[in-house]
């Protein structure tokens, strides 16, 4: 009981209310040491201080803790889910026993959802293939003869997969999401701390775009912006690989401005000449 109480306090302190609730409901909570995990799915704990208590209680309950000799570690908290229909354990989308569709899991990691490595340089072909496969089985059209609950869950699962795919498909939104997993949010709108010289450059590009007189001029601006975005994307990839999140955030801010111009270029081209 002491061990459970200490775990509840730890989980509650770090905001893991779902795991704490699962303990109270008798669900199984597994904690396993990892060297790198995202904050959305991780719990920072003093493993050395509590590992002995957990190892002693492992045989008595559902809790396990596999820790290194480090005084601190990151621990992934995974909570077993049970089918709403038959109470068997469930996979990500369907029950492993009765095969009915399940509701989306709260705070699902988009990289896990689409079965791709959590890295900025994702395999777009693999990402698209996974997306198509999931929509083939999750699309609401497949559940029109099922219960209202299954229809609801298919709509929610399909919408979640759509959102995950749209987020990871584009470099800007993918990087923003990766920083969000690390607890770093980008401010909406204009960045007041941006370099004045850079803001002047952006203003001049926007003015040039508004004054263009033909498709060739618009294409020239679009090509220049794409080159800048390509360079920023390469720098961003390098920063994320190094774990330099501050630089990554600064680069993302610059990318937002050029991405906005790129969208304006597309709008101008769509107007026709």
Select 196-271's CATH number: 1.10.760.10, 3.40.1390.40, 1.20.1280.20, 2.40.30.10: 1.20.1280.20
Buried b (16+ CB within 10 A) or exposed e, 20-43: bebbeeeeebebebeeebbeebbb
Averaged confidence pLDDT in the chain: 78
Going from N- to C-terminal start, the domains of the chain cover: 2-79, 81-169, 196-271
β partners of residue 31: 65, 77
Phi, psi for residue 201 in degrees, rounded to 5? -60, -45
Provide Rg for the chain, Cα atoms.
24
How far apart (Å, rounded) are the C-alpha atoms in residues 18 and 39? Answer: 15
Decide if 265 contacts 225 (C-beta within 8 A): yes
Domain 81-169 and domain 196-271, same fold? Reply is no
More confident call, 60 vs 171: 171
Fold of 81-169: Helix Hairpins (1.10.287)
Q: Rounded to the nearest 10 degrees, how much is the dihedral formed by the CA atoms of 51, 57, 63, 66?
A: 30
How far apart (Å, rounded) are the C-alpha atoms in residues 116 and 267? Answer: 32
How far apart (Å, rounded) are the C-alpha atoms in residues 100 and 94? Answer: 5
Of 48-57, 74-83, 134-143, 188-197, the range with the lowest mean pLDDT is 48-57
More confident call, 106 vs 104: 104
DSSP code per residue over 217-265: HHHHHHHHHHHHHHHHHHHHHHHHHHT-HHHHHHHHHHHHHHHHHHHHH
Contacts of 102 (CB under 8 A, 6+ apart): 81, 83, 84, 90, 91, 93, 94, 95, 153, 157
Q: Rounded to the nearest 10 degrees, how much is the dihedral formed by the CA atoms of 6, 7, 9, 14?
A: 140
pLDDT in tens, 202-229: 999 999 999 988 999 999 999 999 999 9
pLDDT in tens, 48-103: 444 444 444 444 444 333 333 323 333 444 578 899 999 999 988 999 999 999 99
Report if pTM > 0.85: no
User: What would the two tokens of residue 140 be?
Assistant: 């609401």
Taking 50 as the threshold, does the pLDDT of residue 4 lie above it?
no
How far apart (Å, rounded) are the C-alpha atoms in residues 165 and 204? Answer: 34
Closest CA to 165 of 112, 102, 114: 114
How far apart (Å, rounded) are the C-alpha atoms in residues 124 and 233? Answer: 15
**What length does the chain have?**
273
Band (pLDDT 50/70/90 cuts) for residue 2 is very low
């Amino acid at each position: 009981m002491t061990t459970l109480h200490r775990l509840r306090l730890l989980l509650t302190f770090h905001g893991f209310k779902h795991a704490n609730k699962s303990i109270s409901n008798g669900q199984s909570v597994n904690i396993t040491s990892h060297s790198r995990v995202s904050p959305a799915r991780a719990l920072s704990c003093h493993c050395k201080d509590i590992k002995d208590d957990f190892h002693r209680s492992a045989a008595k309950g559902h809790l396990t803790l596999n820790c290194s000799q480090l005084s601190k570690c990151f621990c992934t908290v995974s909570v077993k889910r049970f089918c709403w229909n038959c109470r068997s354990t469930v996979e990500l989308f369907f029950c492993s026993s009765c095969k009915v569709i399940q509701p989306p899991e709260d705070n699902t990691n988009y990289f896990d959802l689409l079965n791709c490595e959590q890295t900025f340089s994702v395999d777009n072909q693999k990402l698209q293939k996974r997306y198509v496969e999931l929509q083939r089985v999750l699309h609401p059209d497949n559940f029109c003869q099922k219960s209202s609950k299954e229809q609801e869950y298919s709509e929610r699962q399909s919408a979640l997969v759509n959102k995950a795919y749209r987020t990871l498909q584009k470099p800007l939104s993918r990087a923003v999401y990766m920083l969000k997993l690390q607890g770093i949010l980008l401010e909406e709108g204009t960045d007041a701390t941006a370099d004045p010289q850079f803001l002047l450059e952006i203003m001049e590009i926007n003015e040039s775009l508004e004054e263009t007189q033909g498709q060739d001029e618009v294409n020239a601006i679009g090509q220049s912006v794409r080159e800048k975005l390509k360079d920023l994307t390469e720098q961003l990839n390098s920063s994320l690989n190094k774990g330099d999140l501050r630089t990554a955030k600064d680069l993302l801010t610059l990318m937002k401005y050029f991405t906005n111009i790129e969208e304006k270029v597309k709008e101008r081209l769509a107007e026709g000449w």
